[in-house]
Copies of this chain bind each other. A is one copy, B any other.
Amino acid sequence: MPSNIVPSNIPDIVIGRLPIYLRALTRLEQEGREVTSSHELGQRLGISSAQIRKDLSHFGGFGKQGTGYQISYLIDQLKQVLKIDREWDVALVGAGDLGHAVANYRGFSDRGFRIVAVFDNDSAKIGQAVGKLTVRAFSEMEAFVREHNIKVAMIAVPAQNAQDVADQLIKAGVRAILNYAPISLNVPTGVYVQYIDPVVHLQRMTYYLD
């Protein structure tokens, strides 16, 4: 969830499910399907069909009772709602193992995001290739982000550096941060943070194990 007050009357928990719906719908489309139902989506996702219908009704409802959802139309609508009917330039900070893995991840580009720069403060890494990009000096980051009007960033640096990196990104205009470092970030109102924390996911599953 974003760390600040939600500027909208749609519950953040609903917003959080929309990318999941979008991913499932995209997969259905790749399978050659044209129409789906809340029942089918629910089965694929482990979410009740009633919940899915209710979530989508916040946006006016994209389907008609009994006829299901037109997949391509629903995909377009969700992309508009999530503002990924455009492509967001993304700055990646950290060019270690994780930074490399993130930079080489192929799932960004057709889903609304494009990594346009990678920064690190290790002089051994600066100038090296990471995917199709060249690692830039951390000292160039603020000017670059400002100049290119970058609003989205990913932090893949050690925990002890993450808050400092976040502060500089925010100062340069970044408003959405995906943080891979295992530490909570303090950010001002109007800036959003999401965390990639594998342990949270593991702990959620062990609850169900014997």
- Whether a CB of chain B sits under 8 angstroms from the CB of A63 is no
Q: Looking across the interface, which residue of chain B has its beta carbon closest to that of A24?
A: B184
B101 in contact with A198 (CB, 8 Å): no
Q: Is A143 an interface residue (CB 8 A)?
A: no
How often does this chain occur in the complex, in copies? 2
Tell me which residues across on chain B come within 8 A of A113, comparing CB atoms: 199, 202
Determine which of B3, B27, B208 lies in contact with A6 in the assembled complex, contact meaning CB atoms within 8 Å. B208
Task: Specify the main secondary structure of chain A where it touches its partner.
Answer: mixed
Distance from A178 Cβ to chain B, minimum over Cβ atoms (Å): 5
With A and B bound together, what is the CA distance between A71 and B142 in angstroms? 39
- Chain A contact residue count (CB 8 A cutoff): 67
Instruction: Provide the residues of chain B in CB contact with A200, threshold 8 Å.
Output: 19-20, 23
Most buried by B among A3, A96, A97, A204: A204
Interface residues of A (CB under 8 A from B): 1-4, 6-8, 12-13, 15-16, 18-20, 22-24, 27, 44-47, 81-84, 88, 90, 96-98, 100-102, 104-108, 111-113, 151-152, 154, 175-176, 178, 182, 184, 192, 194-209
27 chain-A/chain-B pairs, Cβ below 8 angstroms = A1-B46, A1-B47, A2-B205, A18-B207, A23-B200, A44-B184, A84-B203, A97-B98, A97-B101, A107-B182, A107-B199, A108-B198, A108-B199, A108-B202, A111-B199, A112-B206, A113-B202, A152-B209, A154-B198, A176-B202, A176-B205, A176-B206, A192-B208, A192-B209, A194-B202, A194-B204, A196-B198
